[in-house]
């Protein structure tokens, strides 16, 4: 229950996979400033992106991102649109020219989607953990990664939203620039900036609402990108870098909520190391409930590859899963139906879902199990 004046508002326990839950602190601040942002007498949605007020917030958001990530000035922070799916073709469009090639490590649905787009632009080597039935249940071991040293870049997906797996180590890729789709676990934990050349992430899971896509590129890798004159203007990373992501109107409101979320992470949570500890505890509680259920709840992902962001499991029958979802909704727990391609149950326990929500979910799971075992 959230107090607002003399009224109380009941909030759902929201495990949607994205768009996903936002921190209450962020939502209340946005509500407070909705009609008068920073004394302008306007909503941030009404302020010109060419104004000094907006530009200050825009630049501050980039610096907050750098500070949380531990990135220096050699990293360009770009605010783009089109979701991570647009980056599936923008990365190869900008880098696979003059017969260049890349290596893609595929551990889930979105990695396959990225490969499909990349093949339109160049030669692609694929390292995949796909099972014969088309599912993905594990992350490859380092010794499985046979990477061509001539690769222009190596692409990976750090967390698999649909299948519930996550890299628990950062691969050695033989000196090739490492490109990472971090859409569903960005800023859930620290990451080794020195191992990466480019990262991208849709904001709508851990960073804010849908509408803005974060891209961070190291200067030396940006230098290798295709010349701006040979690409459509808005599909060149150089356009965004050289114009501070202000060549055209950016998604101002989404960047504003991103700004508030980054402040919440930095000042209220205390940074990524603290966020990681909270996320590890959340995942531990939920996986313990699955593992101690005597087979009532069945997790398909190998334990060493389990995601701390998207916890997936199955029940005995699809009918029982439907009953689980229906009764969970009655208990105020929403957004837990698995992806349409896989079925089952999925709890997306992103940053904004703190430990209390996970404990309430586990209480429901145990009650349901005792009644239906």
Pairing relation of β-strands 178-181 and 198-202?
Answer: parallel
Give the Cα-Cα-Cα angle 206, 208, 214 (nearest 5 degrees). Answer: 80
Q: Are residues 138 and 153 in the same domain?
A: yes
Is 282:353 a contact under the CB 8 Å cutoff? yes
**Per-residue pLDDT reduced to its tens digit, 303-336:** 999 999 999 999 999 999 999 999 999 999 999 9
Is 172:198 a contact under the CB 8 Å cutoff? no
pLDDT of 373 reads: 85
Number of H helices, E strands in the chain: 10, 15
> Which of 268, 300, 315 represents a domain boundary (last residue)?
268
Q: Are residues 251 and 280 in the same domain?
A: no
Q: Are residues 243 and 293 in the same domain?
A: no
> Which of 221, 249, 268 represents a domain boundary (last residue)?
268
**Per-residue pLDDT reduced to its tens digit, 109-124:** 999 999 999 999 999 9
Has 110 been annotated as catalytic?
yes
pTM over 0.75: yes
Domain limits at 12? 2-22+272-372
Residue of 75, 110, 167, 264 with catalytic role: 110
Report CA-CA distances (Å) from 25 to 22, 176, 257, 265, 274. 8, 40, 11, 11, 17
Q: Are residues 178 and 297 in the same domain?
A: no
Q: Are residues 177 and 206 in the same domain?
A: yes
Has 205 been annotated as catalytic?
yes
pLDDT of 6 reads: 43
pLDDT of 270 reads: 98
Residue of 75, 181, 264, 282 with catalytic role: 181
Residue 143 DSSP label: G
pLDDT of 9 reads: 67
> Which of 214, 240, 268 represents a domain boundary (last residue)?
268
Has 37 been annotated as catalytic?
no
- For the domain that residue 205 is a member of, what is the CATH number? 3.40.640.10
pLDDT of 8 reads: 52
Rg over CA atoms, the chain: 21
Distance of CA 49 to the CA centre of its chain: 26
Q: Are residues 259 and 298 in the same domain?
A: no
Q: Are residues 234 and 319 in the same domain?
A: no
> Where are the alpha helices (H) located in the chain, listed in sequence order?
24-33, 52-69, 83-95, 109-118, 219-222, 237-242, 252-263, 272-291, 318-330, 355-372
Q: Are residues 175 and 244 in the same domain?
A: yes
Q: Are residues 66 and 213 in the same domain?
A: yes
For the chain, 373 residues long, give each residue's pLDDT as a single digit of tens.
555 544 556 899 999 999 999 999 999 999 999 999 999 999 999 999 999 999 999 999 999 999 999 999 999 999 999 999 999 999 999 999 888 999 999 999 999 999 999 999 999 999 999 999 999 999 999 999 999 989 999 999 999 999 999 999 999 999 999 999 999 999 999 999 999 999 999 999 999 999 999 999 999 999 999 988 899 999 999 999 999 999 999 999 999 999 999 999 999 999 999 999 999 999 999 999 999 999 999 999 999 999 999 999 999 999 999 999 999 999 999 999 999 999 999 999 999 999 999 999 999 999 999 999 8
- For the domain that residue 293 is a member of, what is the CATH number? 3.90.1150.10
pLDDT of 189 reads: 98
Q: Are residues 245 and 300 in the same domain?
A: no
pLDDT of 168 reads: 97
Identify which of 300, 350, 319, 296 has the alpha carbon closest to the alpha carbon of residue 15.
350
Q: Are residues 172 and 230 in the same domain?
A: yes
Q: Are residues 178 and 123 in the same domain?
A: yes
Distance CA 254, CA 80 (A): 11
Phi then psi for residue 312, to 5 deg, are -110, 145
Number of domain units in the chain: 2
Residue of 75, 76, 167, 205 with catalytic role: 205
């Amino acid at each position: 229950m959230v107090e607002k004046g003399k009224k109380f508002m009941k909030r759902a326990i929201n495990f949607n996979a994205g768009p996903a839950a936002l921190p209450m602190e962020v939502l209340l601040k946005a509500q407070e400033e909705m009609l008068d942002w920073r004394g302008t007498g306007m909503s941030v949605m009404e302020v010109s992106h060419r104004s000094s007020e907006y530009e200050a917030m825009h630049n501050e958001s980039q610096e907050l991102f750098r500070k949380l990530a531990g990135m220096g000035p050699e990293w360009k922070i770009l605010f783009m649109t089109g979701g991570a799916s647009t980056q599936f073709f923008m990365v190869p469009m900008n880098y696979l020219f003059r017969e260049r090639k890349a290596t893609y490590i595929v551990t889930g649905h979105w990695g396959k989607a990225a490969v499909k787009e990349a093949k339109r632009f160049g030669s692609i080597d694929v390292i995949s953990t796909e099972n014969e039935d088309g599912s993905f249940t594990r992350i490859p071991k380092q010794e499985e990664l046979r990477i061509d040293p001539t690769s222009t870049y190596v692409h990976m997906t750090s967390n698999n939203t649909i299948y519930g797996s996550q890299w628990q180590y950062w691969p050695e890729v033989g000196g090739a620039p490492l490109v990472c789709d971090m859409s569903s676990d960005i800023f859930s934990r620290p990451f080794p900036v020195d191992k990466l050349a480019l990262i991208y992430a849709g904001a709508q899971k851990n960073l804010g609402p849908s509408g803005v896509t974060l891209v961070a590129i190291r200067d030396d890798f940006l230098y290798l990108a295709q010349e701006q004159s040979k690409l459509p203007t808005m599909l060149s990373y150089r356009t965004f870098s050289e114009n501070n992501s202000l060549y055209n109107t950016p998604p101002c409101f989404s960047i504003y909520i991103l700004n508030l979320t980054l402040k919440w992470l930095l000042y209220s949570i205390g940074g990524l190391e603290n966020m990681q500890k909270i996320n590890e505890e959340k995942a531990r509680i939920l996986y313990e409930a699955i593992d101690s259920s005597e087979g009532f709840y069945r997790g398909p992902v190998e334990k060493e590859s389990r995601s701390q962001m998207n916890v997936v499991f199955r029940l005995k029958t699809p009918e029982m899963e439907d009953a689980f979802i229906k009764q969970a909704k009655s208990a105020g727990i929403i957004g837990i139906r698995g992806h349409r391609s896989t079925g089952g149950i999925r709890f997306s326990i992103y940053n904004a879902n703190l430990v209390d929500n996970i404990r309430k979910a586990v209480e429901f799971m145990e009650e349901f199990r005792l009644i239906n075992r």
